[in-house]
Amino acid sequence: MEMVGGEEDRRLEETELRLGLPGGRASEGETAVAVIKCGGKRGFSETVDLMLNLSTKETLMDLNDKVKRNLAKENDDPVKPPAKALVVGWPPVRSFRKNILAVQKSDVKESEMMSGGAAFVKVSMDGAPYLRKVDLKIYKGYQELSNALGNMFSSFTVGMIDFMNVCKLMDLLNGSDYVPTYEDKDGDWMLVGDVPWEMFVESCKRLRIMRGKEAIGLAPRAMEKCKNRS
Partner 1 sequence: MNFCPEEVLEHIFEFVTSHKDRNSMSLVCKTWYQVERESRYGVFIGNCYAINPVRLIKRFPRVRSLTLKGKPHFADFNLVPHGWGGFVDPWIKALAKACPGLEELRLKRMVVSDESLDLLSRSFVNFRSLVLVSCEGFSTDGLAAVAANCRNLQELDLQENDVDDRRGHWLSCFPESCTSLVSLNFACLKGEINLSALERLVARNPNLRSLRVNRAVPFEMLQKILIKAPKLTDLGTGSFVHDSDSETYHTLKSAMTNCKSISSLSGFLDVASCCLPAVYPLCANLISLNLSYASGINGNELVKLIGHCKKLQHLWILDCIGDDGLRVVADTCNELEELRVFPSDPFGPGNAAVTEQGLVAICSGCPKLHSLLYFCQQMTNAALITVAKNCPNFIRFRLCILDPVRPDPITMQPLDEGFGAIVQSCKRLKRLSISGRLTDSVFFYIGTYAEQLEMLSVAFAGDSDNAMLYVLNGCKKLRKLEIRDCPFGNMALLKDVGKYETMRSLWMSSCELTLGGCKTLARKMPMLNVEIINENDQVEIIPDNNDRQKVEKMYLYRTLVGPRPDAPDFVWTL
Of 12-20, 121-129, 153-161, 207-215, the segment contacting partner 1 by CB under 8 A is: 12-20
Asked if residue 199 binds partner 1 (CB under 8 A), the reply is no
Q: Do 162 and 146 form a contact (C-beta atoms < 8 A)?
A: yes
For every residue of 21-85, DSSP letters joined together read -TT---SSS--------BTTB--GGG---------TT----HHHH--B-----TTSSSSSPPS--
Please, what is the minimum distance in Å from the beta carbon of residue 15 to partner 1?
6
Contact 112, 88 (CB under 8 A): no
105 touching partner 1, by CB under 8 A: yes
Binding flag, residue 32, partner 1 (CB under 8 A) = yes
Residue 22 binding partner 1, by CB under 8 A: no
Q: Which stretch binds partner 1 (CB under 8 A): 7-15, 132-140, 154-162, 170-178?
A: 7-15
Return the residue of 13, 21, 23, 42 that touches partner 1, per CB under 8 A. 42
Q: Is 27 in the site for partner 1 (CB under 8 A)?
A: no
Cα 186 versus chain centre, distance: 21
> In angstroms, what is the minimal distance from the CB of 193 to partner 1?
22
Q: Does 58 bind partner 1 (CB under 8 A)?
A: yes
Give 210's strand partners. 179
- Are 21 and 48 spatial neighbours (Cβ–Cβ below 8 Å)? yes
Q: Closest separation between CB of residue 92 and partner 1, Å?
A: 5
**Does residue 205 belong to the site contacting partner 1 (CB under 8 A)?**
no
Residue 105 pairs in a beta bridge with none
Q: Is 6 in the site for partner 1 (CB under 8 A)?
A: no
Concatenated DSSP letters of 78-131: SSSPPS--B-TT-S---HHHHHHHHHHHHHHHHHHHHHSS--EEEEEETT-SS-
Listed residue (190, 188, 168, 193) closest to 178, CA to CA = 168
Does 74 engage in binding with partner 1 (CB under 8 A)? Answer: yes
**Binding partner 1 by CB under 8 A: which of 24, 27, 84, 174?**
84
Interface with partner 1 (CB under 8 A): 1, 3, 8, 11-12, 14-15, 32, 40-45, 53-55, 57-61, 63-64, 74, 78-82, 84-98, 100-101, 104-105, 108
